[in-house]
Structure 1
């Protein structure tokens, strides 16, 4: 009876230990930060985010671009990895 009880406790404890060990060795993922800056190639009012996005990617090598309000109007901003 004691041998059966020891087996009933041993295997669940073994699996718990293995689970904790594997979970603790998991590689931590670091998210890439995204920084924005005003486009250096865009001039004038930015009224079409699609055009801003296309120009930011093709001309400035950005991940994406978008029009945002900036006093006194709207400007094209490009997004890069920091």
Structure 2
């Protein structure tokens, strides 16, 4: 009988571990920054390379990122900023 009290079964330890993990995970708050897009102010004309647009937006407009998107009559560079 003394052996059972001194060494709890592994299933009890697993159960306690899962309860602690669930309690901790519900306490965590997830914060996501929203991104707003606007057409690039430093790049005009046809946007043929998202990589170049991304570099332009980050380096010259201090944006988070940039990408080419369809805008009639072709494609334009759009930059993404934290709202």
TM-score normalized with structure 2 length: 0.68
Partner residue of 2:35? 34
Moved >6 Å (runs of 4+): none
Matches within 5 A, 1:1-82: 15=16, 19=20, 22-23=23-24, 26-82=27-83
How many Å separate the matches in 1 of 2:22 and 2:31?
21
Alignment size in residue pairs: 71
SS of residue in 2 equivalent to 1:75: strand
Per the alignment, do residues 24 and 66 of structure 1 end up closer, same or farther by CA in structure 2, a change over 3 Å counting? Answer: closer
TM-score normalized with structure 1 length: 0.69
Unmatched segments (≥5 aa) in structure 1? 1-11
SS of residue in 1 equivalent to 2:41: coil
Unmatched segments (≥5 aa) in structure 2? 1-11
Computed over aligned residues only, the root mean square deviation of the Cα atoms, in angstroms, reads 2.5
Per the alignment, do residues 59 and 21 of structure 1 end up closer, same or farther by CA in structure 2, a change over 3 Å counting? Answer: closer
